[in-house]
A and B are shown apart, each in its own frame.
Chain A
Amino acid sequence: MNAQTFKDSDTVDFVIVGSGAAGGVIARELAQGGLTVVVLEQGPRFSLRSFRHDELKDWYLGGITNDAVKNPQTFRSDATKKAELQKFKPPLWYGRGVGGSTLHYTANYWRLHEIDFIERSVLGAIPGTGFADWPITYADLEPYYTKVEWEVGVSGLAEASPFDPPRSKPYPMPPLPVKSSGVLLERGARKLGLHPIPAPLAINSQQYRGRPACVHCGFCHGFACEIGSKASSLTTVIPEAEATGRCEVRPESYVFRIATDDQGRATGVAYFDRDRREHFQRARAVVVSANGAETPRLLLMSASPRFPNGLANSSGLVGKYLMFNYGGRADGVFEHELNEYKSVQVTRIVHDFYDSDPKRGHYGGGGLDARFGPGAATWAIRALTDGPSWGSTLKARLKEFPRSMQVSSHSTSLALESNNITLDPDVKDAWGLPAIRVTYKDHPDDLATARFLQERCAEILEAAGAQRVMQAPVAEQTSSAHLLGTCRMGNDAATSVIDRYHRSHDVPNLFLCDGSSLVTSGRGQPTMTIQALAFRAGEHMVRFAKRGEI
């Protein structure tokens, strides 16, 4: 494919920072809408044939993600402490390459429910938090959820769940074949009167839009799909954007500053190329879709005399309200082999505990799924044992690998100003730019929700006939791949960073769209919503551009 290329000195209509879940979609929408686009991606452009079943590389050495050496991060639980450099694994984990985190995600594609957008109104304020309604509703986003399902490709079964919000179209593909963990989750959950349903996944159950059906190799979570069955921006929307002849994707282009003029308008972005030479790409408008960690970091690094606290930060909320989602779990061992390392992570889910219920005594809710955990090494590292986590008890546990599964919960995180991303005052990355400093401590309600859901996970395993059930301790989280809420959407410029169309309140031709836009955390699985937001944002950006409103 001979995609269009531009010169730095060309003023393109839009420059997009990031080529992942949101950046890829917006690039396609803008380019198909007749606009010229340059996408700058900090990571390389991988070929599918470079992807391996290499857990050490992809999970621990930054094979397709940020890593602890090039992209160091520091962590602390609260602002009274000095943040410590995390030398082994960075606390915030994201895809680094064309496709972004759609390279290594698990591809669980849950829509938010109607309640997610209006929870604050329905449940009331939660003191000490930034709990708020969204400026849009489920009905506003529904057409774009459907667009994701059909344009990106999602397998699932419509009308299966009594809890699903209304939808305008069924899924384009049937669900993936059920795994033993899915059968057992279904069995256990139904015994308890719950409503298990097939998991919606952005993984092809049959050939779809030129990409093959899944061959069940088992390397989805934390790995890139070597045949393109798992949807990634790399194999879906990015090639479609390039096919217009109006979009150039420039890999290994690491943006470090958004420039503004005397009127406070964005003029383009400064970046390092692969040889660390500085460039400046001019554009009529700038879109930042760099993920919930890198987007606020870039705004903070773009501080100037006119914007002393960082760009688009008159609210002071850039980087704040970081939300991870909680992932509590119980492990079960069964009599016969499940061989959970084969095929996709998840085939059945339970949404009976999705809504917050005041009777539980705390805010929060979540979804449950059956899965095995990622690769063999990570499974072993995290394996729960009755007794010491080494020696003969560990050895016996390792032998149970084929007979093991887990039921995991995916639950709410409240927005707290004290959970945030800032620039580390001391640590620099390999380019000499300030490292991400993460400050995070789960709200007590989030931990209570995790404990509540974990009990439900254990009950399901017991009802399914597990020989043994073990629960991981619910402890405060220190890492996540869900990077949400750090440039939230809202109608009021004093309490949000972007408006309902993703335009920053402070800079009229600067748009932000990715996990940072989310107002509440949902119940895990954020990519579906990030992409629905991106389709909607892209459509409005085309409209704005054509009316001269950028």
Chain B
Amino acid sequence: MDTLTLSRRSLLHAIAAAMAGAAVPFGWAEMAEAASHLHEAAQAGGNGKISFLSAAEAADVEAITAQIIPTDDSPGAREAGVVNFIDRALATFLSQLAADYRAQLAAFQAAFRERHPSVASFASLDSRRQIEYLKEVDRTPFFATTRLLALLGMFSLPTYGGNRDGAGWKLIGFEDAHVFRPPFGYYDRGYPGFVIDPVKSK
């Protein structure tokens, strides 16, 4: 990697170098402030206690999200604490969705009981049969909302309760830094510069 992740101090040095000799009315304080946000973001959010969903609801939601973003050789929704994010979202910052979501979840559970009367809950089913069941319902609004919330929980700042220890960011190779420098990737390395009309200039 040629890109640099910089600590707050080296970040300020980088900006200083980039703007050497210039009078800069603003930018400096903001950069320092921005860099300090990294520390905020790194602190995992919440105490992990579920407050909006019941234990049985939380178990089903966690099981569904774990099938949406499964765990393999890398973390999935479960390791990222996505159910914690969803619970917090419905209780607080997305509370306008709570009533609809709870009703949809109840309908999901009722339909599941009808389909599998001898099974205690979706969460208690084995993984293969969970996937089979979800394939039957993955076009419902409930599934779409759960997928949306799961992905928001996976990749939002850890302060919102999911993306525990940056698990989502690690999964996709995203680095939350405030300064990068070119080259950014493989293909812009050694770029010779833009030529206006390569045909004519030959």
A-to-B contact residues, CB < 8 Å: 48-49, 51-56, 60-61, 68-69, 87-88, 157, 159-160, 162, 175, 177-180, 182-184, 186, 190, 195, 198, 207, 210-213, 215-218, 226-229, 235, 334, 336-343, 375-377, 380-381, 388-392, 394-395, 398-399, 401-402
Contacts and interface: CB of A to CB of B under 8 A. Distances in A.
B81 interface: no
27 contacts: A48-B33, A60-B94, A88-B96, A162-B197, A175-B194, A180-B184, A180-B187, A183-B187, A184-B187, A207-B24, A215-B178, A216-B182, A217-B34, A336-B185, A337-B173, A337-B185, A339-B173, A339-B184, A339-B185, A342-B3, A342-B184, A377-B156, A388-B138, A389-B147, A391-B134, A394-B68, A402-B185
B188 A178 contact: yes
Contact of B70 (A184, A211, A391, A399): A391
A218 B180 contact: yes
Interface in B59-77: 67-70, 72, 74, 76
B155 A55 contact: yes
A334 B168 CA distance: 21
Given A87-B100, A343-B180, A392 B70 contact: yes
Contacts of B15: 212, 215
B180 A215 contact: yes
Contacts of A337: 173, 185-186
B194 A178 contact: yes
Contacts of A216: 179-182, 184
B123 interface: no
Contacts of A375: 155
Given A390-B67, A390-B68, A401-B174, A178 B180 contact: no
A190 B135 CA distance: 43
A339 B186 CA distance: 9
B157 interface: yes
Contact of B151 (A51, A180, A380): A380
Contacts of B23: 210
B191 A381 contact: no
Contact of B27 (A51, A212, A402): A212
A365 B1 CA distance: 39
A380 B82 CA distance: 15
Please name the 7 residue pairs, one residue from A and one from B, whose CB atoms are nearest each other, closest first.
A336-B186, A180-B185, A180-B187, A401-B172, A377-B155, A212-B27, A49-B33
A183 B182 CA distance: 13
A400 to B, nearest CB: 9
B22 interface: yes
A217 B194 contact: no
Dominant SS among interface residues on chain A: loop
B41 interface: yes
Interface of B: 3, 14-15, 18-19, 22-27, 29-31, 33-34, 37, 41, 67-70, 72, 74, 76, 93-94, 96-97, 100, 131, 134-135, 138, 147-148, 151-152, 154-157, 160, 168-169, 171-174, 176-188, 191, 194, 196-198
Candidate in B29, B181, B184 with the most chain A CB atoms within 10 angstroms: B184
Given A343-B182, A389-B147, 8 more contacts: A48-B30, A48-B33, A49-B33, A60-B94, A182-B188, A339-B173, A377-B151, A381-B151
Contacts of B169: 376
B31 A52 contact: no
B37 A53 contact: yes
A56 B156 contact: yes
A177 B93 contact: no
Given A157-B194, A182-B188, A395-B72, A54 B179 contact: no
A390 B34 CA distance: 34
Given A338-B186, A398-B69, A377 B152 contact: yes
B72 A211 contact: no
Contact of B97 (A88, A212, A235): A88
A178 B191 contact: yes
B33 A339 contact: no
A32 to B, nearest CB: 19
A280 B194 CA distance: 55
A388 B143 CA distance: 12
Nearest to B27: A212
A218 B181 CA distance: 11
Nearest to A61: B93
A339 B3 contact: yes
Contacts of A60: 94, 152
A395 B69 contact: yes
Nearest to B177: A217
A399 B18 contact: no
B154 A380 contact: yes
Contact of B188 (A54, A69, A179, A228): A179
B157 A56 contact: yes
B70 A207 contact: no
A54 B93 CA distance: 14
A68 B96 contact: yes
Contact of B26 (A69, A228, A395): A228
Contact of B172 (A69, A157, A398): A398
Contacts of B93: 56, 61
Contacts of B183: 180
Given A49-B29, A210-B25, A342-B180, A402 B173 contact: yes
A52 B34 CA distance: 7
B180 A336 contact: no
A371 B197 CA distance: 23
Contact of B155 (A213, A339, A380): A380
B196 A160 contact: yes
A381 B148 CA distance: 6
A399 B96 contact: no
A343 B184 contact: yes
